[in-house]
Structures are given as C-alpha cells and as structure tokens.
Amino acid sequence: MPSTMILTIDLGGTKVAFGAIDEHGAMHFNERVLINNLHGDAVGTLITHKISQIIKQFDKGRLQINAIGVSVPGIVRHQTGRVWVPNIKGWEDYPLKENIQRASSGIPIILESDRTCYVLGEKWMGCAKGCDNVIFLAIGTGIGAGIIANGSLVKGANDIGGAVGWMVHSAPQRGKADSSGCAFESCASGNGMVKLAQGMMNGTPGNNSTLISDSLKAQHIFTAYDTDEIAREVVQHCIKQWGMAVANLVSIFNPEKLVLGGGVFGPAVRFIPEIRQEAKKWAQPVSEKLYALEASQLGKDAGLYGAAYAALQFLNARINEERVS
C-alpha cells in the first residue's frame, strides 16, 4: 500500500501528460491531453481543471495527493513560480505555480525543467539507477541536457544550465563550409532536421524525394530513411552532430552513462552504434571507453517519473527538516 502519492504533470508544446505515481514508482494513472491550438491562459485552465478532477477522483477513492510535480519545457523561475515556455504562446512569464495553487488547496507544488526531470526519472526508475554521473541528452523540438554530476544536479546559478543546444561545433557541414559555426540545436534538433531537409529539397530541383516539404516532421524523415536519399543525408548529418555533442559531454563530465531520448529521438535508437562510433572520433580517449550510451528506458514517461521524483525528494527534505528542528 503506497503511503505517498504524487500527481505528476509533463507539459509539452502539443500535449500535457498527467500521471499519479507513488513512492515506489508505481504508476496509478496516466493520461495525455492534447493542447492543440490553445495558448496563454487557456492552457493554464486546461491544466488546473484536470488537476481538480484528478484530486477529486483520488478523494473518492480515499487516496490523498501529497504533492504535485510538474516538468516544464523551458525555464522555471523558482523564486516566483513563473515559467517561460517557448512552445506555448503567451507563456513568456506565466504564473504557473500560482494558478496550480488555486486548484489544489495547499498541496506542495514542485516545478522542474523537463531536462532535469528526464535525468531524475531515469535515475529513479529507468536505465540510470545507481548512476552518480549521468547525462540525459534530450533531442526534441529543441535540444537540452539533464545532468547529474557527483550525485548532484547540474542546474547552474540561475537554473538554466544544461542548455547544450547552444553548443558550437560546426565541423561536418553539408555543402559549403560555414565559417560562422553552427549551434548544435539549429543543426540537429527536430526543427533543425526539418529545416535542413526542406533546404535540401528546395535546393535540389528535380530531386525524387518522397518527403512532403510543407507538413514535414522529424518522424517522417526517420521513416523515409531506408528509401529516400535526402532523408538519409539529413539523418547522417544528425548522427555526426549528435556524436560530437556526446563526445563533448563525455570529455567534460566523464559520465558512467549517457542516455539519449526526447520527443524526436525515439526512431533514432537504431543509430546509437553509429552515434557512438562518431563520438569515439572526438571524445577524451580514456573517458570514451568508460561510459555506456543507451536509449531512454522510460521513453515518453521520463518526464512524469522525474517530476514525481523531484516532488518526492522535496517531501523527504521537508520531513528531514522537521526532524532536525
């Protein structure tokens, strides 16, 4: 019988996942709601309504929600509880914590960035159990990393660390060399893949690509990999970029494990051996031999587990504080 229940929320740009996870990591509830074209307060209202609903539902079953953990795809301003979420219009400085508070009457609320949640989730219930030096490289619409070094989260002085999408490593460029360099994210995120493919299609009149430029998504590119030359070129370009990023992180952090995941990465699991091969060219050679490169084990639930774990850690810290005082 669980003694603690966390309502856990994974915010995305197109959908919100809700879950209830107990202190043993058992998932008691898991539902995804599309946000579609909603923006601003409408997204907030969708979330708070759903929270009220879930709390009532648990109340009926005489189960209490002890805390709410939220995975935020952007920047969390912990002092104010406001968030910046680039993928939701009108959420440049949105009072998320305050709004959830109104719907949840006194239940503690913990907000964490999605990348932090991903690595926490894998450490708690996924492929990084027991790892004190581990990185989750999240490849989605954008690119970020959740980092645990020496057992401690690397979030930076203002909670915006792990912005590895901004890393510069321009080496393998397609076509003419670009002396201005290339930020990792713009080359190798979901958006980057789409833009690169579109550029190649427009720049190659008479190409016989089966990709459809207008509604193109990263998953279409992966699907067409075996049959479409442009798709293959884009993915190969990304493998080089991902490999260099992995190499840089391995040289800097000397981790025991590096986990690849995120909304776009799923179909790229088959390329992990190639990514490792590419990383081998660049990484510090001793560290290069000493880490495991693996796909996320929790997949689309990594954020839910991680936000739940962050909330559990908050509750435990509070209990310890009370014991001491």
Residue 277 beta carbon to its own copies: minimum distance, rounded to whole angstroms: 15
Among 63, 75, 295, 315, binds its own copies (CB under 8 A): 75
In whole angstroms, what is the distance from residue 213 CA to residue 186 CA? 18
Binding mask of the shown chain, residues 127 to 146, with x at each position contacting its own copies by CB under 8 A: -----xx-----------x-
The DSSP-derived string for 55-124 is: HHHHHHTT----EEEEEESSEEETTTTEEE-TTSTT-SSB-HHHHHHHHHTT--EEEEEHHHHHHHHHHH
86 interacts with its own copies by CB under 8 A: no
Decide whether 21 or 283 has the Cβ nearer to its own copies: 283
34 interacts with its own copies by CB under 8 A: no
Backbone angles phi, psi at 106, to 5 degrees: 85, -5
* Residue 174 contacts residue 197 (beta carbons within 8 Å): no
Both tokens of 295, joined, read 């796909």
* Residue 242 contacts residue 275 (beta carbons within 8 Å): yes
In whole angstroms, what is the distance from residue 72 CA to residue 111 CA? 7
First to last CA, the chain: 29
Decide whether 104 or 133 has the Cβ nearer to its own copies: 133
- Binding residues for its own copies, rule CB under 8 A, total 53
Span near its own copies by CB under 8 A; candidates 98-106, 227-235, 252-260, 305-313: 252-260
Among 4, 219, 284, 313, binds its own copies (CB under 8 A): 284
251 interacts with its own copies by CB under 8 A: yes
74 interacts with its own copies by CB under 8 A: no
Span near its own copies by CB under 8 A; candidates 7-15, 219-227, 245-253, 263-271: 245-253
Residue 158 beta carbon to its own copies: minimum distance, rounded to whole angstroms: 6
6 interacts with its own copies by CB under 8 A: no
In whole angstroms, what is the distance from residue 134 CA to residue 291 CA? 9
Q: Where on the chain is the footprint of its own copies (CB under 8 A)?
A: 75, 132-133, 145, 147, 149-173, 177-183, 244, 247-248, 251-256, 282-284, 286-287, 290-291
